[in-house]
Amino acid sequence: MTHPAVPLPPVVVQSLGWALLHFVWQGAALAAALSLLMAWCRRASTRYLLGVGALVLLVAAPVITFLLLLPRPRPSIAWTAMPSGAVAVEWVQATVARAPTSPAAPQRPLQSDRLIWLVELWFAGVALFSLRATGGILLIERLKRRGVRPVSSELLKMCQMLQRRLGIDRAVHYCETRLVAAPAVIGLFRPVVLLPVKALTGLSEAQLEAIIAHELAHIRRLDSLMNLFQVGAETLLFYHPAVWWVSRRIRAERENCCDDEAIRACGDAVGYARALTLLEERRSAPVLAMGINRTPLAARVLRLLGLQEIRGGLRGAGLGMSLLCLAGALIAGHGCWGVARASFGMPAPARQSAAIQHASAVAARRKLITLPVVANRQPAGSPAQTSSREPAPEPQNAENSSSERQERGFIEQMRDAGLRDLTVDQLIALKLQGVTPDYVRQMRALGLNLNAEEVIQMRVQGVTPEYVKEMRAMGLKFSAEQLVGMKVQGLTPEYVREMHELGFQPDADTLVGMRVQGVTPEYVREMHDLGFQPDADTLVGMRVQGVTPEYVKEMRATGLKLTAAQLVAMRVQGVTPEYVKALQAAGLRNLASEDYIAAKVQGITPEFVEKARQHGFQNLSLDKLIQLKFAGVL
């Protein structure tokens, strides 16, 4: 069973899946260790460094596990200039993984469907949480550009004085805004301190200095860079609660560190605690911004005032739970590691030693059979005997001998077919995936000079010699990698033939792109019926942007005569037939496609046009409406 959604080699998918599973116990162990260490530390800066170190280890753990589990190529087996006994030893070592030395150990495939689904779900989760991070970035850009204005000169002098006191040489911009309700720092290379007007009302000058000093401390410590790393870790390792817990602890200790710096800069812990209390309910800073209000207020205020939180026996219970969690994670990890090694066909040391002994015994028996026996001087025709120190040779089993000859014949036939210097892993993969010498010969006869990995991949994806011949008959030129991509994406000879009949003669990569984006022969015929004769690239662009025949017909019903490029541009900007009809009904008629795009981008809606009319602006052009919108007059 193949899964086109994961275009990776089977061993890579298996290693990645096991690395994700191993991270379950690894993350629990690291979080438990961090909890134990933080329980014995009192300084916020130390706890912050411990949290950062734990998060780095959380990110590194699955990467290291993946690299350790990823099978490495082994030295190839030399078959020339070697005595027959040595050949027997090497042959048995090469086939010991599937030799009948342990009937209870079944062959394991290189890839498990459950691991494939796990990797696919992980990819989907990463994509989903990437949208969260992208939304935060877009929100920050919006905060930078809209609704901000420079602070007053008096406030600017205070900010610059605090900046010099904290030793910050970077250029920092200070702006007032109404889009957030609490102070925040945005931007990594060009930081901006946002000071909301509503949040700052009612604060004394000393309290205001402490609040601004807290934000400047974020800039001096480069906390935005660490926060970006946290968002990346939460995106990649979203499925583990330990990552979110460690990231939450880092954010809490980061705010404590900045609180300490604000107190050192201003010297009034009580006034600063009162300022925090006033800002408690104003929580609107985005996740990618450094906000003063992103951690629980009660703990911070108690810490600033030097009061101890009432915990009772919870601390001891927490330490006990952390120790139990750490021990359980390590025990689970030990068992999980053994299962993972077994799934890759990695034998245990005892089994490997037995396999080598079996190989040596086979070679010894072959040597003993061919040596003349002279010690006991048996007459001709009598069975040969050996010394009492050497075991008597066992009678050869006809079935086992036949099996050995067939296995060795497979290796020699692969060498004759052109696949030489094969490693043990490659031999096992070829056998498990059903790659025959005839398959290799037919592919090479078609001009495909393939190595072992390419042959296995083509066999797994179902690339047959007949498929290659049919695609060649269509005039396509392709490499082995392109051939696999064509098969994975469902590029059939019938699809290519229909595209040729419709007048397209694209190369293999273009055909794959058309197939992936859903450019079907029916879609092309419908566009031809509507009068469009686009090339392959234009068709792909139209299909990607959702330019359907229905969309074209509805746009034409509005009176617009549009080219393919204009349709794509309007679709990209979200100009719908309903929007065009609404603007026409509002009095904006005889506009070109570029005008509708400009109106959509600038936010000119039918409601805005009607509002302008209510204020006495009649028959305004689109340019005037855009100027009114930009100036914010209405």
Query: Look-up: residue for tokens 């006191």?
Result: 165
Whether 343 has a pLDDT exceeding 70, the answer reads no
Q: Rounded distance, CA 169 to CA 248, Å?
A: 30
H/E element, 467:
helix 465-473
Q: Rounded distance, CA 150 to CA 296, Å?
A: 30
Q: Rounded distance, CA 26 to CA 105, Å?
A: 29
Q: Rounded distance, CA 23 to CA 118, Å?
A: 13
* Domain annotation for the chain: domains and CATH numbers: 10-99+314-349 (no CATH), 126-226+251-294 (3.30.2010.10), 517-634 (no CATH)
pTM comes to 0.47
Q: What is the mean pLDDT of residues 13-32?
A: 88
Whether 58 has a pLDDT exceeding 90, the answer reads yes
Q: Among 31-40, 357-366, 459-468, whose mean pLDDT is lowest? A: 357-366
Q: Rounded distance, CA 338 to CA 598, Å?
A: 62
Residue among 157, 131, 328, 120 at smallest CA distance from 235: 131
pLDDT confidence tier of residue 86, bands split at 50, 70 and 90: very low
User: Where is mean pLDDT largest: 75-89, 189-203, 463-477?
Assistant: 463-477
Q: What is the mean pLDDT of residues 61-70?
A: 88
pLDDT of residue 188: 76
Q: Rounded distance, CA 183 to CA 207, Å?
A: 13
Q: Among 358-367, 479-488, 491-500, 612-621, whose mean pLDDT is lowest? A: 358-367
Terminal Cα distance for the chain, rounded: 62
The token pair at 266 is 């201003």
Contacting residues for 303 by C-beta, under 8 A, at least 6 apart: 256, 259
What does the pLDDT look like over 375-406, one tens digit per residue? Answer: 344 444 444 443 334 444 444 444 444 444 44
Residue among 101, 122, 142 at smallest CA distance from 19: 122
Mean pLDDT, the chain, rounded, equals: 76
pLDDT of residue 337: 57
Whether 340 has a pLDDT exceeding 50, the answer reads yes
Residue predicted with more confidence, 289 or 55: 55
Q: How far is CA 531 from CA 290, 489, 525, 592, in A?
A: 55, 29, 10, 20
What does the pLDDT look like over 4-18, one tens digit per residue? Answer: 455 677 778 888 888
